[in-house]
Amino acid sequence: MFKLLKQEGRARRGCFETPHGTVQTPVFMNVGTQGAIKGALSARDLKEIGCQVELSNTYHLHVRPGDELIKDMGGLHRFMTWDGPILTDSGGFQIFSLAKLRKINEDGVKFNSHVDGRHIFMGPEESMRIQANLGSDIAMAFDECIKIPSPKDYVSRSCDRTYRWLQRCKKALAEYNAMDDAVNPGQMLFGINQGAIFADIRVEHMKKIAELDLPGYAIGGLAVGESHQEMYDTIEAVEEYMPKDKPRYLMGVGTPGNIIECVHRGVDFFDCVMPARNGRHGHLFTWEGIINIKNEKYSRDTDPVDPQCRCPVCSRYSRAYLRHLFKAEEMLAMRLAVAHNLYFYNSLAERIRKSLESGNFEQFRHNFSEKLDKRI
């Protein structure tokens, strides 16, 4: 499934086989929460901007339009006409964000829908059923995303429960994959390491979930309020105990600099809403740093957003035109900005892979880790 092709320090160049194609790693997954990128990008657009893996959300698709409907339509790949790999997250983070509306026990979580307020119950078996109906290539285990800071005794108890939930997820998904009407019988389960920023709890939890021999593992519960250094320290503590022959996924991270630094620490998979969200507000990533295209200084600028970029936007449109679209509140502004930013993130992952292949990743890190996060 996962093949390690080259390594420089802890940084890894690999490939991962899925039922819908091979993923070259390190990889940035493009987030289409409800089966679409926020910014009016279609599955066809994703191909043009170099997306390898599309990520959708279990909770949101369960609430609307419904996972049973998507199954009846042939699964999420057919529904959104995307023929590449798809990862679905378990819904755990969304439940975390609904903290005031939830009740957690050993069975799972009871909460109210953010759409219509109706009562919903989700546990490991329900999350696996929904993800099996969606037919993604990678299903994420159902877990509790713990807020930071939290009391250490609560974090410890939560991780014990998340481990028990993971055992139930593994059993349930195996049963769904064996069914005659399985949408994607090759669907794979990734386990999620939790533990807030307590290194000892993180390490112990990682050791336990590694014993389940799953196709891949994620580090969850970060980028929720801790500092960048605390995040890096947590990854370094856990990485040593993550299986070397399985992909490592850091959930919900992050800036271009974060990605480079976490590749340096042994991470293979990334996702984040940042490039799409920032793009919708006119904040665009370039190889010189981050620009605010709404600034007056771009009103007569005939250069592309980034002269070094080869995306469909930079090959055709000027900064002045894009600024005009934002000022005129045209929908096209959002679409072009999001397309550029996602292309940038996908290209960043590609350049990281090439630097690892040529053995100069550390030089790449030195050149770009801080530079790409600066506003210019």
Residues with active-site annotation? 89, 271
Q: Which residue in this structure is represented by tokens 């320090």?
A: 9
Q: CA–CA distance from 290 to each of 162, 229, 256, 293, 341 (Å)?
A: 38, 21, 10, 9, 10
b/e per residue 8-41 (b: at least 16 CB within 10 A): beebbbbbbbbbbeebebbbbbbbbbebbbbbeb
Structure tokens at 13: 């160049």
For residue 307, give both structure tokens.
Answer: 């002269």
**CA-angle at 47, arms to 46 and 53, nearest 5°:** 70
- Which of 313, 345, 358, 305 lies closest to 332 in space, CA to CA? 313
165 phi and psi angles, rounded to 5 deg: -65, -40
Residue 373 DSSP class: G
CB atoms under 10 Å from CB of 51, counted, come to: 25
Say how many C-beta atoms besides its own lie within 10 A of residue 81's C-beta: 9
Biggest CA–CA distance in the chain, Å, is: 61
Asked whether the beta carbons of 224 and 236 are under 8 A apart, the reply is no
- Residue 260: closest CA among 376, 353, 357, 337: 353
Cis? peptide before 124, omega within 30° of 0: no
Cβ 8 vs Cβ 359: under 8 Å: yes
Of 29, 58, 34, 70, which is closest to residue 46 (Cα–Cα)? Answer: 29
One-letter amino acid of 271: D
Report d(CA 67, CA 235) in Å as an integer: 34
From the list 165, 285, 172, 277, the residue with the least C-alpha distance to 220 is 165
For residue 141, the 8-state DSSP code is: P
Instruction: Give the chain's length.
Output: 376
